[in-house]
């Protein structure tokens, strides 16, 4: 395990991704869905006491829209914004009921959405396409599991597993889309493609807004965020740093060591990619190229970048799934539990340096986000029952 303190941190240099009006617009859009319900913010007092911390809160995104992960927040808002733009309307005029109406459909004609995914983002795009009655094509990177493919196919999308890693599959998707006139709904940005990824990032802000309300005035001192391309971590960091601007929480970014592009970028002082196969059980975090908009935020807002081996998230899944007396159980998947795994070892003598670097102590109010539930039951069982995570990659 490795970590690096971000010497370039400068929250004043950071421009918040969303204004107060923007935040409100995103949340109002999500609230217009009949499936909308705040996901639980679970307080783990037993674990906080065990680790010598004041409070631990875990936002449990396995309950999001019945889809087992937060990702649909981004896909739905970006598709909503995209369609609003096509109709020359403001998204505030297009609540979900209207967006899925026959009138909107006949105004827009046939559309096909396309995305690359390791599972959760594509599921969100496929779900939204089905709700609105459009076609959806999804490409998955090499090594994606059949269960994750099935989770997407369930919503009528045409899904296939490619021979490439995530970043190359994204490039393939963009090429196919331009050849066939499809709408790319991708959660990472590249030169000339920034609008939709920015809307996806903004869409995730709903969960941060909910968490702040559910904290009922408790000010978080530490927010731990897992990163793949960093769209999720950066927008959540941006919302927390700008909401608590007088006393911003420490932002700790956690990545699999096989795909630790933010850790490397912090070290290099500029964007650094990881290439080739990224063999990690944290499928949602197996991305080698930082989203440039994400890097622009995290380079100013993050305190520490941590690069961890797979056993850390395997431990997190077991810790959350087997709570201490009085704590609620949280079902968290491989990409959801890594921050809990890291926190859970921080009281061990062996990780004293890490605890000191993160400044974790009896006054710490820690927020974690379990970004997915049990998204692949076979993998979840292998890890939590058999302690087997090596054979999965």
- With binding defined as CB under 6 A, does residue 121 bind ligand PLP? yes
Q: How far is the CB of 231 from ligand PLP (least distance, A)?
A: 3
- With binding defined as CB under 6 A, does residue 346 bind ligand PLP? no
Token readout for 196 is 């939709």
Q: How far is the CB of 14 from ligand PLP (least distance, A)?
A: 18
Question: Is-catalytic flag, 310?
Answer: no
Site map for ligand PLP, 162-201, x if CB under 6 A?
-------------------------x--------------
User: Could you give the C-alpha distances from 121 to 138, 188, 206, 228, in angstroms and in order?
Assistant: 10, 11, 16, 12
- With binding defined as CB under 6 A, does residue 120 bind ligand PLP? yes
Q: What is the residue-wise DSSP string for 70-133?
A: TTHHHHHHHHHHHHHHHTT--GGG--HHHHTSHHHHHHH---EEEEE-SSHHHHHHHHHHHHHT
- With binding defined as CB under 6 A, does residue 227 bind ligand PLP? yes
- With binding defined as CB under 6 A, does residue 290 bind ligand PLP? no
Token readout for 187 is 């959660």
Question: Is-catalytic flag, 71?
Answer: yes
- With binding defined as CB under 6 A, does residue 155 bind ligand PLP? no
Per CB under 6 A, which region of 15-23, 135-143, 223-231, 356-364 contacts ligand PLP?
223-231
Q: Which of 29, 96, 139, 232 lies at the binding interface for ligand PLP (CB under 6 A)?
A: 232
The single residue of 71, 81, 198, 250 carrying the catalytic annotation is: 71
Question: Phi/psi at 43 (nearest 5 deg)?
Answer: -100, 120
- With binding defined as CB under 6 A, does residue 332 bind ligand PLP? no
Q: How far is the CB of 284 from ligand PLP (least distance, A)?
A: 3
The single residue of 118, 187, 296, 303 carrying the catalytic annotation is: 118
Q: How far is the CB of 93 from ligand PLP (least distance, A)?
A: 28
- The pairing of beta strand 222-226 with beta strand 250-256: parallel
Q: Which of residues 51-70 bind ligand PLP (CB under 6 A)?
A: 69
Tokens 């020359």 appear where? 88
- With binding defined as CB under 6 A, does residue 111 bind ligand PLP? no
Name the residue nearer to ligand PLP (CB basis): 71 or 250: 71
Burial class (CB in 10 A: 0-12, 13-18, 19+), 362: exposed
- With binding defined as CB under 6 A, does residue 330 bind ligand PLP? no
Task: Give yes or no for a contact between 220 and 249, defined as CB atoms under 8 angstroms apart.
Answer: yes
Q: Which of 83, 159, 285, 342 lies at the binding interface for ligand PLP (CB under 6 A)?
A: 285
Q: How far is the CB of 285 from ligand PLP (least distance, A)?
A: 6
User: Could you give the C-alpha distances from 278 to 220, 291, 296, 383, in angstroms and in order?
Assistant: 33, 17, 24, 19
Task: Give yes or no for a contact between 280 and 332, defined as CB atoms under 8 angstroms apart.
Answer: no
Q: Which of residues 352-371 bind ligand PLP (CB under 6 A)?
A: 371
Identify each DSSP E strand in 183-236 by its residue range.
183-184, 222-226
- Residue 38 has a CB neighbour count (10 Å cut-off) of 16
Tokens 């500029």 appear where? 270
- With binding defined as CB under 6 A, does residue 226 bind ligand PLP? yes
- With binding defined as CB under 6 A, does residue 313 bind ligand PLP? no
- With binding defined as CB under 6 A, does residue 261 bind ligand PLP? no
Q: How far apart are CA 218 and CA 328, in angstroms?
A: 20
Q: What is the residue-wise DSSP string for 276-296?
A: S----S-GGG---S--HHHHH
Q: How far is the CB of 96 from ligand PLP (least distance, A)?
A: 23
How far is the first Cα of the chain from the last one, in angstroms, to the nearest whole number?
A: 19
User: Could you give the C-alpha distances from 115 to 150, 186, 257, 289, in angstroms and in order?
Assistant: 16, 6, 25, 16
- With binding defined as CB under 6 A, does residue 288 bind ligand PLP? no
Binding site for ligand PLP (CB under 6 A): 69, 71, 118, 120-121, 187, 226-233, 284-285, 287, 335-336, 371-372
Which positions are catalytic? 71, 118
């Amino acid at each position: 395990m490795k970590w690096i303190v971000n010497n370039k941190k400068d929250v004043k240099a950071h421009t918040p991704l969303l204004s107060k009006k923007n935040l409100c617009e995103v949340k109002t859009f999500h609230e217009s869905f009949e499936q909308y319900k705040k996901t639980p913010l679970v307080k783990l007092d037993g674990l906080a006491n065990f680790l010598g911390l004041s409070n631990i809160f875990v936002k449990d995104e396995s309950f999001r829209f019945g889809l087992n992960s937060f990702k649909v927040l981004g896909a739905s808002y970006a598709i909503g914004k995209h369609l609003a733009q096509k109709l020359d309307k403001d998204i505030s005029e297009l609540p979900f009921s209207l967006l899925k109406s026959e009138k909107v459909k006949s105004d827009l004609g046939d559309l096909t959405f396309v995305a690359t995914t390791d599972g959760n983002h594509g599921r969100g795009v496929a779900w939204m396409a089905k709700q609105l009655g459009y076609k959806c094509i999804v490409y998955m990177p090499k090594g994606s599991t059949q269960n994750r493919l099935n989770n997407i196919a369930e919503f009528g999308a045409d899904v296939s597993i490619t021979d490439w890693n995530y970043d190359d599959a994204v490039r393939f998707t963009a090429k196919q889309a331009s050849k066939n006139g499809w709408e790319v709904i991708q959660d990472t940005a590249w030169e000339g493609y920034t609008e939709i990824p920015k809307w996806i990032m903004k869409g995730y802000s709903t969960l941060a807004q909910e968490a702040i309300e559910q904290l009922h005035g408790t000010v978080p001192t530490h927010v731990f965020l897992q990163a793949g391309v960093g769209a999720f971590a950066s927008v959540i960091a941006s919302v927390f740093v700008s909401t608590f601007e007088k006393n911003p929480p420490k932002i700790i970014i956690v990545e699999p060591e096989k795909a630790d592009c933010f850790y490397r970028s912090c070290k290099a002082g500029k964007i650094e990619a990881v290439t080739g196969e990224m063999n990690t059980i944290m499928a949602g975090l197996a991305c080698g190229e930082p989203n440039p908009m994400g890097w622009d935020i995290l380079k100013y807002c993050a305190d520490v970048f941590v690069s961890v081996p797979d056993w850390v998230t395997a431990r997190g899944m077991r810790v959350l799934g087997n709570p201490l007396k009085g704590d609620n159980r949280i079902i968290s998947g491989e990409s959801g539990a890594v921050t809990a795994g890291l926190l859970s070892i921080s009281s061990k003598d062996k990780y004293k340096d890490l605890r000191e670097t993160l400044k974790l102590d009896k006054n710490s109010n820690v927020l974690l986000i379990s970004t997915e539930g049990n998204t692949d039951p076979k993998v979840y069982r292998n890890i939590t029952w058999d302690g087997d995570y090596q054979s999965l990659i």
